[in-house]
A and B are shown apart, each in its own frame.
Chain A
Amino acid sequence: MNLLLADININWYLPPLILAISLVYSATRFESWRLIWIYSIRWAVYILTFLGGTYAFLYFVSLDVGFYWYVAACGILLILYFRPLRGKRADPASSRPSS
Chain B
Amino acid sequence: MSAAEIELRNPILAAILAWMVPGLGHVYQGRIGKAFLFFFCVMGLFLLGTHLGSNRVVYYRWDRKEWSWPYLAQAGVGIAAVPAFFRTMDPAKWDVELDDLHRAGKIVDIARIFTMIAGLLNLLVIYDAFAGPALYDEEEKLLAELDKKPLSEDAPA
Given known A20-B41, A20-B42, contact A32–B101 (CB-CB < 8 A): no
B81 within 8 A of A: no
Q: With an 8 A cutoff between CB atoms, is A33 at the interface? A: yes
Interface residues of A, count at CB 8 A: 26
Chain B residues positioned under 8 Å from A17 (CB to CB): 45, 113-114, 117
Which A residues contact B (CB, under 8 angstroms)?
1-6, 10, 13, 16-17, 19-21, 23-25, 27-35, 38
Could you give 17 example pairs across A and B, Cβ below 8 Å? A3-B107, A5-B51, A6-B104, A10-B106, A13-B110, A17-B113, A17-B117, A19-B41, A20-B44, A20-B118, A24-B41, A28-B128, A28-B133, A29-B135, A31-B31, A35-B139, A35-B142
Of the listed residues A6, A20, A33, the one surrounded by the most CB atoms of chain B closer than 10 A to its CB is A20
What separation, in Å, do the CA atoms of A5 and B22 have in the docked complex? Answer: 25
Is B79 an interface residue, CB under 8 A from the partner?
A: no
Q: Are A29 and B54 in contact (CB under 8 A)?
A: no
Within 30-75 of B, Cβ neighbours of A (below 8 Å) are at 31, 33-34, 37-38, 41-42, 44-45, 48, 51-54, 56
Which 7 residue pairs are nearest across A and B when measured between Cβ atoms?
A: A20-B41, A28-B128, A28-B124, A29-B135, A24-B121, A29-B134, A20-B45
Interchain CB contact under 8 A, B114 and A6: no
Task: Report B97-112 CB contacts with A as 1/0, cut-off 8 Å.
Answer: 0001101101100100
Report how far A34 CA is from B41 CA in the complex, Å.
Answer: 18
A-B contact count (CB 8 A): 87
The residue from A1, A2, A32 contacting B139, defined by CB atoms under 8 A apart: A32
Tell me, yes or no, whether B12 is within 8 Å of chain A by CB. Answer: no
Known: A3-B107, A20-B45, A25-B121. 10 other contacts (CB 8 A): A1-B54, A1-B101, A3-B54, A4-B52, A10-B106, A16-B44, A20-B118, A28-B128, A28-B133, A31-B132
Minimum CB distance partner of B100 in chain A: A1
Of the candidates B37, B117, B139, B143, the one whose C-beta lies within 8 Å of that of A23 is B37
Which of B41, B143, B146 has the most A CB atoms < 10 Å from its CB? B41
